[in-house]
Amino acid sequence: MSILSIVPTADGSKTIYNAEIGENYHSKHGALQESQHVFLNSGLRYFLAGTEITEVSVLEVGLGTGLNFLLTADFCTSKEIALTYTGIEAYPLSDEMIAQTGYHDYVPATIWQTFLDNYPLSLQQPVQLNTHVQLHTAHLQLLNYSTDQLFNIIYFDAFAALHQPAMWSEQAIAHTIKFLKPGGVFVTYAITGNLKRQLKAAGFKVEKAPGAPGKREMLRATKAL
């Protein structure tokens, strides 16, 4: 019996439940709403607001179903912003499982199909999905990820600390934020005292932002210039 199953969430969108970990890939209160609110709006759109930036780079910890990527790719394509996107995913889903999520309802068909067609290849090397979007899926553990590239935005979308405490350890967070450019933005759906203190100690401006449905608050932090 598979440990993964497709489950509905409160806003009508679907997510995947991992029985081994005991958690959904997205909020049960709404997969689509969470991705839009936490990552697209509070992350990408916040970073771009009031600027004329034409190129942006995103590092996601926990690519999972690809929903955060799909929404980001759609936004950047529509705004003609060049997007370089790297998703760290130690346990990549199959393209067959991703296809069952129904996320084709939320992005143009061309973006959806190009993602599905190229997802397996993105596990091997960066893939140019269209004239604006490049995707690389880094198939390894977070602490084994290494690159000379620095990113404008980090989407931290690991499973909750209750189920995967190592992903939220001081070591894991320190390793992650070293890939962020000065002035870059770190966003996550969670907010804890330890995470706030660590980011403040690293010179970040830390904000409590309104959370997605089901969560009162989330965390956004901007790296000092």
pLDDT value at residue 16: 97
The answer on pLDDT for 46 being more than 60 is yes
Residue 119: C-alpha distances to residues 64, 83, 115, 146, 188 (Å): 12, 16, 6, 21, 24
Residues 6+ away with beta carbon under 8 Å from 96? none
In this model, does residue 82 exceed pLDDT 70? yes
d(CA 81, CA 56): 7
User: Above 80 in pLDDT, residue 134?
Assistant: yes
pLDDT band at 2 (very low <50, low <70, confident <90, very high): confident
* pLDDT the model gives residue 114: 97
Share the mean pLDDT of the chain. Answer: 96
High-pLDDT (> 90) share of the chain, %: 98
Residue extents of the structural domains in the chain: 30-223
Provide mean pLDDT across the span 113-132.
96
- The C-alpha atoms of residue 119 and residue 127 are separated, in whole angstroms, by 8
Q: Is 126 exposed, middle or buried (0-12, 13-18, 19+ CB in 10 A)?
A: middle
pLDDT band at 58 (very low <50, low <70, confident <90, very high): very high
Total length of the chain: 225
pLDDT at position 65: 97
When pLDDT is cut at 50, 70 and 90, the band that residue 67 belongs to is very high
Q: Is it the case that residue 68 has pLDDT exceeding 60?
A: yes
> What is the pLDDT, as a whole number, of residue 140?
96
Q: What is the pTM of this model?
A: 0.97
State the pLDDT confidence band at 59, using cuts at 50, 70 and 90: very high
CATH topology of domain 30-223: Rossmann fold (3.40.50)
- Tell whether the model's pLDDT for residue 97 goes beyond 90: yes
Mean pLDDT confidence for 114-139: 97
Q: Is the pLDDT of residue 1 over 80?
A: no
State residue 202's pLDDT score.
Answer: 97
Which structure tokens are listed for 168?
Answer: 């939220």
| pLDDT at position 153 over 90 | yes
Evaluate whether 10 touches 30 at the Cβ level (below 8 Å).
yes
